[in-house]
A and B are shown apart, each in its own frame.
Chain A
């Protein structure tokens, strides 16, 4: 099959929430720009919001909050590791996003978003601030509306065609390589500007139920964006801050706290006691959950049974109507009912890397520029702390405009790629006669991630993780076997997951303190260390040596003086673990064993037999 070559101005790598917004705004900014959108699925339904979404989790709208309030909330939950310009830009952009969404869906104020008696968008309290910054949304159809707009504007959309390589030349972006997961049709696309919007590392840790796709995030989001940016030489930050969401146990969809809490629900432990001070998903709250389990008060639940019947019915309508609609059926099968106190069991079932809910990702400035020329990033893969869906839209839009402007002035890149060899390399798992089933390799790396680096983080376990990474790269990855193109992308996914695991582990070992509650609770350093205040941990590939390099750099100077801490303490435990056991080199012979084998031979040692009485 012949390769197809495309010349583009802007490539959008992932047509999810941020990617569709980026494509639309790039076309709006320059209708002549050749914009190509690539996605693993069809852009109408792929990504986190494919089946709709029920809220914009952080907004500032007239009458309720200001961009400064957004800065205050994010300063607190990021514990000071925040470029406040990013938070301010987010706050400033959300009103425009609301208007855009009404425009694309053709829906009126009061329909897609609720309005109050003054005609303002009606926000609720959620964040650890005294301002309401949460806006409910009846957003069943938003992804299809965004996709319609992308196609209407004349973008080239390559559905089911994931990007597997990103090229640079002299430190500038030159293009991408992608293939269709049904037909194997492959593409070499040259472009001076590439926007990475491929979402979080959703497939990272293994959910405890053991189902590979049974995760909170969209399972097509497997960290290619993180990995491609890394190999292009971009900086990534906060890779040590893990997302450890409190989910609806086993179902692993949102436990719906954000919908339930504003309406009077709350979290309880097995004794029926309320144990959170607030319901906002942040590291301190996850630490509180972890403590409940450690001290024997799990399982934990979301309590709804005290609410009036009409509130419960309203909640069922919202919770079973958008986002993860199979939730109702899941409850039914378990014989659960929101009118019983223990019907929504919660659990912290998996770890992921994401800046939508947490803060890991590709380093960007407020114009979404990464540290590589021509490379932009937005959404869950770009390190804007706890930006949620509004951040994907706001920064996706900024990225689209910025990339179109950059492409208009940049020279058309020359792509020097040996495509035949590259395609051979990518399809090796398909062509090799036999090997390891890719789903087993995925199971293996993800179970290792769960076992070795889930917080609280132990230094010896993290060291062992690095050993596994090395071993799997050497022994397993070169032996992956797949049966068709659909599965062939999984070989790339596994490698992205491994790259992300290495970045996450090394960053966790580099930050010699604990911060963000459970998200980076490191047993060897069980307290926040002021020496790390205002410091990022940066992961970057040295393009000369191909080594992963860790460094720290200063967070941009604060413009607003807000408290940068939520009230919590790490538990008192005996953490004095020392360095842990280091395995001696493999050719090491224990003299005691050598002497024993010499003396007793290789038979079962005599002392194992019960001596007969004479």
Chain B
């Protein structure tokens, strides 16, 4: 990932009060964008590979993950 690694630049957002760290979103992201951080919450490890496809949200049983916005460049 080039440029800023700033977490604010992640458009996929996790609601930590709902997420149980099951890793479903990580396993089913078709672009292998997500990883669990050391607290067990998903984050965008390969942010710029994201196709804003919404699969992560769709695969989350707990409604804990969301595309807060579309990627900045296409917004």
Contacts and interface: CB of A to CB of B under 8 A. Distances in A.
B32 A326 contact: no
B73 A209 contact: yes
Contact of A50 (B53, B70, B74): B53
A44 B28 contact: yes
B55 A329 contact: no
Contacts of A252: 74
Given A211-B73, A212-B48, 8 more contacts: A46-B30, A50-B30, A51-B55, A51-B58, A218-B30, A330-B70, A439-B1, A486-B46
A67 to B, nearest CB: 33
Nearest to B1: A439
Interface of A: 40-42, 44-47, 50-51, 160, 181-182, 209-215, 218-220, 250-252, 324-326, 329-330, 333-334, 437, 439-440, 486-487
B9 interface: no
Given A41-B30, A211-B74, A51 B54 contact: yes
A329 B70 contact: yes
Nearest to B50: A213
Interface residues of B, number: 27
B70 A326 contact: yes
Given A213-B48, A333-B70, A325 B54 contact: yes
Question: By DSSP majority rule, is chain B's interface helix, strand, loop, or mixed?
Answer: loop
A181 B46 CA distance: 12
A363 to B, nearest CB: 29
Interface in B15-54: 27-32, 45-46, 48-54
A329 B71 CA distance: 11
A211 B5 CA distance: 16
Given A45-B59, A326-B67, A51 B75 contact: no
21 contacts: A40-B30, A42-B27, A42-B28, A45-B59, A51-B55, A51-B58, A181-B32, A182-B32, A209-B74, A211-B73, A212-B48, A214-B73, A214-B74, A219-B51, A252-B74, A325-B58, A326-B53, A329-B69, A330-B74, A439-B2, A486-B46
A45 B54 contact: no
B4 to A, nearest CB: 14
B70 A220 contact: no
B31 A41 contact: yes
A42 B32 CA distance: 9
A213 B54 contact: no
A218 B50 CA distance: 10
B30 A47 contact: yes
B16 to A, nearest CB: 21
B32 A218 contact: no
A42 B74 contact: no
Task: Specify which of A324, A326, A334, A437 lies most central, judged by the most chain B CB atoms within 10 Å of its CB.
Answer: A326
A604 B6 CA distance: 47
A45 B28 contact: yes
A211 B71 contact: yes
A326 B70 CA distance: 7
B35 to A, nearest CB: 9
Contact of B69 (A42, A209, A333, A486): A333
Contacts of B29: 41, 45
Nearest to A44: B28
Task: Specify which of B1, B52, B58, B69 lies most central, judged by the most chain A CB atoms within 10 Å of its CB.
Answer: B52
Contacts of B70: 251, 326, 329-330, 333
Contacts of A251: 70, 74
**Minimum-distance CB pairs A-B, first 9:** A41-B30, A211-B73, A46-B30, A325-B54, A45-B30, A250-B74, A45-B55, A214-B74, A45-B28
A213 B31 contact: yes
B2 A210 contact: no
Contacts of A437: 2
Contacts of B28: 42, 44-45
A209 B32 CA distance: 23
B51 A41 contact: no
Contacts of B53: 45, 50-51, 324-326
B3 to A, nearest CB: 9
A44 to B, nearest CB: 6
B71 A160 contact: no
A250 B27 CA distance: 28
A110 B51 CA distance: 31
B55 A50 contact: yes
B69 A41 contact: no
B25 to A, nearest CB: 10
A439 B49 CA distance: 10
Contacts of B69: 329, 333
B49 A326 contact: no
A42 B59 CA distance: 13
Contacts of A44: 28
Nearest to A43: B30
B68 to A, nearest CB: 9
Contacts of A326: 52-54, 67, 70
A384 B2 CA distance: 38
B32 A160 contact: yes
Contacts of B31: 41, 213, 219-220
B26 to A, nearest CB: 10
B69 to A, nearest CB: 6
Contacts of B54: 51, 324-326
Contact of A486 (B32, B51, B55, B73): B32
Contact of B30 (A182, A210, A220, A333): A220
B30 A213 contact: no
Contacts of A209: 73-74
Nearest to A320: B54
Contacts of B71: 211, 213-214
A45 B56 CA distance: 10
Contacts of B52: 324, 326
B73 A219 contact: no
